[in-house]
Structure 1
Amino acid sequence: MVATKIWVILIEKNKRKIAAIPPHIKTLEVLQVPLRINCSVPMCKGPLSQIYCYGDILTAAWQFGLQKTCPGDKLRVPAEDVLTAFSRLSYPLHRDVFQNFCKESFEITTYLQPTNLVDWKVHPPFLNNITDPDRKKLAATLHEKWSFLARKVERRVFENRDLFPIWPVKYPFVVPGGRFDVYFYWDMYWIVKGLLVSELNTTVWGIIENFHSIVQEHGFIPNSGNIQLSRRTQPPLFIHMINDYVNKTGDTKSLSRWMTSMEKEMEFWFKNRTINLPAGKLFLYRSETDCPRPENLLGDYDLGINSSNPRATWQSIASACESGWDFSSRWMDRSGPRAYDPATIHTADIVPVDLNVFMARNMAYLSNFHKILGNKTASEQYWKKFEEIRDTLHSAFWVKETGAWFDFDLTTKNHSSCFSPSNIFPLLLSGLNRFDSEIEKYVRSTGILDYDAGIPTTLNVPSDQQWDFPNVWAPNQHLLIESFRATQNKFLHTAANEQTDKFVKAVYNGLFHPPPGKIGSIWEKYDARSTSGASGGGGEYEVQEGFGWTNGAVMDMVWNNRNTPRRDPPNRDIFSSPLQATVIIGLWTLSALMALWFVVATCCKKTRPNHLDSESQASRSLLSNMEDDDDF
């Protein structure tokens, strides 16, 4: 049977996201033989790998439908003792016997705890510089959310590292929210932006120091702190975070300290994630692992065995997770008999525009850092690398006929022909923003500016993946706005302001005036077609609230536009909630009755008491205030 969907319904299991079993796969009561998967590079290595990332314990847990609780959040005994105890079990293996083994071997517990951010203030001074009352209200609420999303690793994890499936870090951090209750790599870039607006410089220093220590020990920054994700990385934005921090604080002492980890991470990317094209060397997402993800073992296994090359499929699934776009039609066949079928995923053979923009910017930032530190030779060397990557990506990705940059597919030897926000990101690079006129024409031709809540990740395609239409994601929206602003093009600058207004409006309404029947929250993704802040959908799991990168991106947008009047004040439906509708209708009725009373009194030529004039004026003032308030 050909798999037609990546079957994943993620549920929270402490800090690890564990999938449900695909509905067409039945759980078992007895395993006659272990399921041995033909792959060679699991998702993690080390003493816990045969328990959490591959092997008979993991596959048995999935086949019995016990993957939500086994393996657990902590080992009761050392890993070798767990493996020895399991080896004493025999096949046929019964579910109750295995379940008893799990109870004796693992605990369901916690290893992170909420914490206070030492530099968080109830009334931060930055709010005084935001003049628009609605934006100030939103920024104040987002600032408050940092205190609810702050976590730290419990001390006992450091004392017993080999018993917990987490990569521990010393300093507090901010989690995305919802089920994502551990630190994630590329999410943190936008979280850091928001924290810097909130003047939480000490917290940001600690987050960067955490990543610095991870690179020193691990060689790169994994997808997240969960060891089940530790053999894949995410978009390389560590250096971007340091750039934002140093620009805000001028902390050159820490900059010098972190230089070794920045360069070490870049060595990893140059060594492990490059491809030689006719235009030159570029970067792509190509995770080393060729096994099913442990957090979705049976779903990935089923998809792989129904593809033409299971190992390549599993590698591309992991590589899509590296990209952050997990999952999108961007990584699948878009034509032919299996167009948009997840089984055609081939991320590891697609050279993406955005990754190469990130890498070029990393070289430019490193050049500037060395210049600040007085290292002239190193500064010149990194600037040369920046120019090489910039010129190569332009040569490899630019499609003159369309007037934009497009991903290159190594399997078809062709460029993608579909819209993606990354088609515009090279405007961020010095020397490529000269193509602003071509990009203006491209933007106009696509109609991407016409949506109510921002620019969707793709245009309308037959896909139910979450990184496809109609979803708007804060990272892409933020990068698009910054790309438009990197030019001197009046149209694109206007578009940047309008897109800021649209997305901020959607987030504001989704939090304070959600659609009827929906809770008010900050979402990880939004529906581009909705002005009411409706959350996005599709993909592997229910939409998550919180949400770290939305908080950070919107904080940065609001701050950057703090002196820019809203160009198109949104016209929100004033009946967006039953309570509000009742209040406003009541006020209208009261005003109408008072007006009628006034007419009758005048016709009868009676003297109108002075206190009624005051009441009528007060009523009109109240109604006016209701109409003016929350004009998002």
Structure 2
Amino acid sequence: MLFRLNIEETLQKLLRQEDTDGDKKITKEDRGPKRFKLQTEDGAFYTVKGTYYLSNLLQELAIARNKGKEYATIPLRRIEEKPANRISRMIRRYFWDDLTRTIDEAGIMKIVGDEKAEGKEQRIYVPLKDEHAIEYYNKLKRKYPEINISVLPDKITPEYVLSINNKPGILALKLEGKKGVPFVVPGGRFNEMYGWDSYFEAVGLLLDDREDLAKAMIDNFCYQIKYYGKILNANRSYYLTRTQPPFLSSFIREVCEAGKNTDLKWLTEVLTIAIREYESVWMVSGKRLTENGLNRYLAEGIGIPPETEEGHFDEVLEEYARKYELNREEFQQKYMNREIVDEELDMYFVHDRSLRESGHDTSWRLDNVCADLNTVDLNALLYKYETDFEYLINTYFDGTFQTTEGKSYSAAHWKEMAAARKRLINVYLWDKTKECFYDYNFKLNRQTFFESATNFYPLWAGICNQDQAEKLKEHLMNSYKARGGVLATTKASVSHVPDHLPKRQWDYPNGWAPHQMVIWKGLLNYGYEKEAEELVYRWLWMITVNAVDYNGTIPEKYDVVACTHKVYAEYGNVGTEFDYITTSGFGWMNASYQYGLSILSPELREKLNELADPDILFK
């Protein structure tokens, strides 16, 4: 059955009748009749019924209008498409392309002119040693005089980054000739290349046969290491002293495993740079490597992180303002101008920046303590680097790897490094009584016992023995499982936080895509297919129900207890603001959906299309 519809006429009539709250969406909160009559091409009439089908009609009209059409020919199968099938198809066909960016003439205005630009100023920072980029962007400036081109100094210090806080801009990424190497952004106001987001997005890209784009993102990561010294939190100027959770080795390995033929020249180049990152970012003693041989997050910087929401630190600053007998505004100005130097407050912001470097901004797990912690997640990730390096060298280089810089590494070397780290993880992070891994405070010489989803990263990295894996699986299913998936932290872990303090977005009752994906893979590593499928189903069911009820909404995060995208913590929920149709979803949420579907059995995929309640399905 086909409908040939005048787009504007049908769109306006549909919205007048069904969009009773005027938000240019059709959701379960609208109070229209939820019945809309259409005429088929052969003159018959058909009534579209219910929120989900009506919102699909709205979306199909929007897709056709976005293509510049006056009339849309829409088959009934698109309007009444099964929800899980539709979400997956939209991700594969529309969302990835809409989230793709390049920093070149074709794509530059989409990034430098976004809401993060200060006023009308649009600035690109270019590395001093990338002569090709400097020449390219200076030529581009002659065509687009509103763009400012600034060349970074050879040595980037916290003092320099502080000096450009009032001149924020995008950081250049790799150019190939006159074309920018593409990358995927998370979505919404996150309109730049983020660190660990990119790895999780790539998991979805590889499943959707977009190896080209995943490989391009590795190239951009390597560019960052080469010219900025690290994989950045994101390619914005105020992130120059901050890295992100290290996923590059997994990224490289999975791209190689997905490809039919691995380009050894390319692999040699990127593996060389990944080893450089491991050694220069993570294994410098006294920095991110601590005396006990384990690692921590440690982001440099001076003063208040400029990207934070206005008022985010008011309570902290009020306390220090009273100490100096000033009002908060006066104290903040003097502190940022370094007229007042307070070592204790400086340390607070070291912890805060380090917390942001961890990707978990913010959580009470890391508040005012992050730089003192050997975290489970970081050390599991670095163990994975070591085992990935061993695997890649054995698989593609016959056990010995010669870098482009002339250094030689054996697979045996990395096996020894991984074994040494595993021993330390078991000494410092594993608690025999509670039978779980916990972050270790090396200043206080004790574990924190904070219950976080990050405590299960050793399953993903392959650190556990089978007995440990069994204990972790039981702990996970008993304490972290919510109706909509895995909790970021347990309710008990934040029960000590007074009610007047803000809710942190990486804490109970919220759940996040990267935690789900890491834990699913971890369970599968140890043969727990049944538990993995249940957790996958719960997460995808929640996403699907919200998309059905709210016009296809796929946001950044969820409350996995209430199973809603209406999350009231800190920064709101990116990906919920759109008209008619979401054209991009949210990066790692899209990936989690595609990855989850790849794990589910055909029977559970069909149950997902039927929206079978997980509490009944898995009782």
- Cα 1:444–1:542 change in 2 (3 A) is closer
Partner in structure 1 of residue 86 of structure 2? 137
Native 8 Å contact 1:398 1:404 kept in 2: yes
Say yes or no: does 1:438 pair with 2:471: yes
Name the aligned partner's letter for residue 286 of structure 1.
Answer: L
Partner in structure 2 of residue 275 of structure 1? 290
For residues 122-156 of structure 1, what are the alpha-carbon distances to aligned partners after superposition, in whole Å with 9 as ceiling and x for unaligned?
xxxxxxxxxx9643322111112111111111347
The structure 2 residue matched to 1:154, chosen from 95, 104, 109, is 104
Alignment of 1:119-134 (within 5 A): 134=83
Partner in structure 2 of residue 262 of structure 1? 274
- Cα 1:493–1:536 change in 2 (3 A) is farther
Say yes or no: does 1:289 pair with 2:289: no
Partner in structure 1 of residue 530 of structure 2? 494
Say yes or no: does 1:374 pair with 2:378: no
Say yes or no: does 1:167 pair with 2:117: no
- Cα 1:138–1:319 change in 2 (3 A) is same
| Aligned equivalents of 1:311, 1:528: Cα separation in 2 | 35
Shift of 1:527: 1.0
What SS class does the counterpart of residue 324 from structure 1 fall into?
coil
| Aligned equivalents of 2:478, 2:351: Cα separation in 1 | 32
- Cα 1:571–1:534 change in 2 (3 A) is farther
The structure 2 residue matched to 1:512, chosen from 513, 527, 548, is 548
- Count of residues paired in the alignment: 418
| Aligned equivalents of 1:430, 1:573: Cα separation in 2 | 33
Partner in structure 2 of residue 251 of structure 1? 262
Name the aligned partner's letter for residue 257 of structure 1.
Answer: E
What SS class does the counterpart of residue 186 from structure 2 fall into?
coil
Alignment of 1:134-533 (within 5 A): 134-143=83-92, 144-155=94-105, 158=133, 159-160=137-138, 161-162=149-150, 165-169=169-173, 170=175, 171-249=181-259, 250-253=261-264, 254-267=266-279, 268-271=281-284, 272-277=287-292, 281-296=293-308, 299=311, 302=314, 303=316, 306=319, 309-332=344-367, 345-371=368-394, 372-376=396-400, 378-430=410-462, 432-434=464-466, 435-446=468-479, 448-449=480-481, 451-460=482-491, 461=494, 462=497, 464-488=503-527, 492-514=528-550, 519-531=551-563, 533=564
| Aligned equivalents of 1:210, 1:429: Cα separation in 2 | 24
Shift of 1:262: 0.5
Shift of 1:522: 0.8
- Cα 1:528–1:541 change in 2 (3 A) is closer
What SS class does the counterpart of residue 153 from structure 1 fall into?
coil
| Aligned equivalents of 2:605, 2:312: Cα separation in 1 | 46
- Cα 1:505–1:322 change in 2 (3 A) is same
Larger radius of gyration: 1
| Aligned equivalents of 1:208, 1:431: Cα separation in 2 | 25
Say yes or no: does 1:540 pair with 2:571: yes
What SS class does the counterpart of residue 282 from structure 1 fall into?
coil
Shift of 1:362: 0.7
- Cα 1:573–1:495 change in 2 (3 A) is closer
Name the aligned partner's letter for residue 262 of structure 2.
Answer: D
Name the aligned partner's letter for residue 198 of structure 1.
Answer: D
TM-score (norm 1): 0.62
> Which is further off, 152-161 or 377-386?
152-161
For residues 421-471 of structure 1, what are the alpha-carbon distances to aligned partners after superposition, in whole Å with 9 as ceiling and x for unaligned?
12222123435141122223423542x22x211111112224501011111
- Cα 1:444–1:140 change in 2 (3 A) is closer
- Cα 1:571–1:390 change in 2 (3 A) is same
For residues 572-614 of structure 1, what are the alpha-carbon distances to aligned partners after superposition, in whole Å with 9 as ceiling and x for unaligned?
599xxxxxxxxxxxxxxxxxxxxxxxxxxxxxxxxxxxxxxxx
Shift of 1:418: 2.8
| Aligned equivalents of 2:601, 2:82: Cα separation in 1 | 11
Shift of 1:187: 0.4
Name the aligned partner's letter for residue 227 of structure 2.
Answer: E
Shift of 1:409: 2.1
Q: Structure 1 unaligned runs (5+)?
A: 1-131, 333-344, 575-632
For residues 323-352 of structure 1, what are the alpha-carbon distances to aligned partners after superposition, in whole Å with 9 as ceiling and x for unaligned?
0000001013xxxxxxxxxxxx12111221
> Which is further off, 288-297 or 221-230?
288-297
Shift of 1:368: 1.1
Shift of 1:298: 6.9
> Which is further off, 393-402 or 164-173?
164-173
| Aligned equivalents of 1:209, 1:562: Cα separation in 2 | 35
Native 8 Å contact 2:513 2:592 kept in 1: yes
Name the aligned partner's letter for residue 437 of structure 1.
Answer: E
What SS class does the counterpart of residue 192 from structure 2 fall into?
coil
| Aligned equivalents of 1:151, 1:444: Cα separation in 2 | 39
Native 8 Å contact 1:535 1:543 kept in 2: no
Native 8 Å contact 1:433 1:486 kept in 2: no
Shift of 1:415: 1.4
- Cα 1:194–1:445 change in 2 (3 A) is closer
Shift of 1:481: 1.2
Native 8 Å contact 2:438 2:447 kept in 1: yes
Native 8 Å contact 2:513 2:589 kept in 1: yes
| Aligned equivalents of 1:301, 1:326: Cα separation in 2 | 13
| Aligned equivalents of 1:444, 1:508: Cα separation in 2 | 22
Native 8 Å contact 1:498 1:568 kept in 2: no
| Aligned equivalents of 1:458, 1:151: Cα separation in 2 | 33
RMSD: 2.5
What SS class does the counterpart of residue 475 from structure 1 fall into?
helix
- Cα 1:471–1:300 change in 2 (3 A) is closer
- Cα 1:350–1:543 change in 2 (3 A) is same
| Aligned equivalents of 1:147, 1:222: Cα separation in 2 | 23
| Aligned equivalents of 1:455, 1:301: Cα separation in 2 | 29
> Which is further off, 253-262 or 565-574?
565-574
Alignment of 1:578-617 (within 5 A): none
Native 8 Å contact 1:220 1:264 kept in 2: no
